[in-house]
A and B are shown apart, each in its own frame.
Chain A
Amino acid sequence: MTTDAATGASARVLSGSAGGEAPSPSGRKGLGWGTQVLRLVSFALILGLWQLAAGRWLPDYMISSPSQVAMRLWDLVSGSTPGLWKDIQVTAEELLVGYVLGVVSGVAVGLLLGYWRVGAAIFNPLITAINGIPKIALAPLFLIWFGIGLDSKVAIASMTVFFVMFYNSYMGVVTMPQELVNVLRVMGASRWMIIRKVTLPQISVPLLAGMKASVPFAMIGVIVGEFIAAQQGVGYLIDTATQNFDSATVFAGIVVLMIMMMIGMLLIALIERRVLRWQRD
């Protein structure tokens, strides 16, 4: 919930920063500032309720409280309680490597099977079957195979991302508008020209949608991996805090994850804005 609101807000800030562009006649851009205020108020209301409930209606060890979380967060960020930055670095690295590997391999296989009909006929049932397995159920296996370090988390994250990207790029090729391709063929375009002028721009829409959807998947993969077995990472921090009933640290860790996600989504949104310029206005 809060993540959605937060990323929504950041996306709005982004589109607002376009500055010089003429406002769209549809008026979709830019909610009134009244709405913005109400957003902040509702956010503050929830924090207030939480603060009120903590220790009164619900025990501290269950929900902590916003003030405690803020203080714990400060301890962690400032380094009075050491280790957070190292944890962030480890998790970010797992996330980034897993994500990139998943995107690259998913797109590669998606394009390959998109163009190679026979291959698609052979491998699609297999891929669908494997995709039917809840990826998280495979996580323990991956830990056995790749150890408790970075590799296992990268493997889990990249596998979840792989399937999203595979299906998006595969469908992108399969649903390629043949008319556009034909128009270029009649003009005498080479295969390479068609890929450059039609295939790549066309496929960029589902690819970017997939890349956006994959960020949370990669995060889930990494965090679950760290929950199961790890010695470092934000997921590890949350897991150990849970075992100590230290809910302030748990929430602090969650806030850190939220911020990491927001940064990830923001980066993708920036890429999307550049690549899909033609789709807006």
Chain B
Amino acid sequence: MQWRASLEQASDVEADATGRPAGQPASDLSLRFEDVDLWFGGSKRRPAVQALSGVSFDVADREFCAIVGPSGCGKSTLLNLASGLRPATKGTVYVNGTPVRGLVPDIGYVTQDSNLLPWLTVEDNIRLPLQIRGVPADQQDALVERWIDLVGLDGFRRSHPRQLSGGMQKRCSIARTLVYDPPILLMDEPFGALDAMTKAIMQDALLRLWDEHQKTALFVTHDLSEALTLADKIVVITRRPGRVRTVVPVDIPRPRDVFHASELREFAAQHRVLWDMFAAEISAGGSK
């Protein structure tokens, strides 16, 4: 819990100068999905599967957008499209106004699994993107130092990932992504595998970092409460093939208290509406 304190200090240092009004996205678009279709496979033996169908939505600059939907609806695939790891079959994805062709340089991607390199220490894992980007060595040291501190892995800098708990691995993975300060953050159920307590703490930390560093975030989750707690806007995706069912702005004021957000009246009301929509998707799918 000590790392939360250091987080607060960090946000004190860089005082909130931007003053982004809650729920009011800035004018310039950061991410745009335009009528995106995606098909998987299609070999001689297996017929192609449609993962996404006519998906369109925007994420404004510095907006926190959550994507919810039943499992297997292609939520994660949206992130692969935005990062440029996978091309769309039809339609276009724009990042900062430019159509995505190949990998997008300004993106940080926190995958569902921590995906730390098992042969590198915590320290070296966090340093890796800085080495890749050719950041000077002295700046590397300072940044690594700062982020190890921020995510509370101070006593574990020379540990290897397998020696860490799931929550610590996740923290390391998030630090590794944020350390190079990407303006756009893609997150794929980053807290899905964590216990409730750790999850809440991580959510809290994420909101603080997001506040402090002013990033555009696209956050995939299957947890409605998590989406409501964190996001400015929720995109509900239908079961496969995934389409945009609806886009809902979240009315809960910021700054939010992660630990008590669910007690707010706005929260309960929105949760009910969203849940009915969500449940309909799930039962229609007949899967989990």
Contact = CB atoms under 8 A, between A and B. Distances in A.
Q: Is the interface of A mostly helix, strand, loop or mixed?
A: helix
A201 B124 CA distance: 14
Interface in A200-247: 201
A278 B160 contact: yes
Interface string B105-125: 101110101010111100000
A198 B101 CA distance: 24
Contact of B132 (A182, A187, A201, A279): A187
Interface residues of B, number: 22
A198 B120 CA distance: 10
Interface in B39-61: none
Given A278-B160, A281-B163, A184 B132 contact: yes
A197 B129 contact: no
A187 B180 contact: yes
A184 B105 CA distance: 11
A180 B117 contact: yes
A193 interface: yes
B230 to A, nearest CB: 22
Interface residues of A, number: 18
A138 interface: no
A184 B118 CA distance: 14
Contacts of B131: 193
Nearest to A190: B132
A199 to B, nearest CB: 11
25 contacts: A179-B113, A180-B117, A182-B85, A182-B111, A184-B132, A185-B103, A186-B83, A186-B85, A186-B109, A187-B128, A187-B132, A187-B133, A188-B105, A188-B133, A190-B132, A197-B117, A197-B120, A201-B117, A201-B119, A278-B118, A278-B119, A279-B118, A279-B119, A281-B160, A281-B163
Given A185-B103, A279-B118, 14 more contacts: A179-B113, A179-B115, A183-B109, A183-B111, A186-B85, A186-B107, A187-B132, A188-B105, A190-B132, A193-B132, A197-B128, A201-B117, A278-B118, A281-B163
